[in-house]
Amino acid sequence: MDDVDKWSLIPVSQRQKCLIKDKLPSAKQRSAQQNRMMRRDFSRRQKSLM
C-alpha cells in the first residue's frame, strides 16, 4: 500500500507518464513473447496439416 502514498503526492499527468514509462518495456516483452508462441503454434499446426 506504500505505492498509494507515493502516487497521491504526484500530480495526475506525472503519474500517467510514470505509469506509461513503467509499462512500455514489459508490454513490448509480452508482445514479443506472444508473437513467438503464436509462430511456434502456427508452425506446429502447419506440420500437422501436411
Cβ neighbours for 5, distance < 8 A, ≥ 6 positions apart: none
- pLDDT more than 70, % of the chain: 66
Q: CA distances (Å), 41 to each of 5, 9, 48, 49, in order?
A: 44, 46, 11, 12
Query: Taking the model in full, what pTM does it have?
Result: 0.37
Q: Which residue has the higher pLDDT, 49 or 32?
A: 32
pLDDT tens for 8-31 read 666 777 767 766 677 777 777 778
DSSP 8-class letter at 11: -
15 or 33: which leads in pLDDT: 33
Which residues, 6+ apart, have CB-to-CB distance to 10 below 8 Å?
18
Rounded CA gap, 32 and 38, in Å? 10
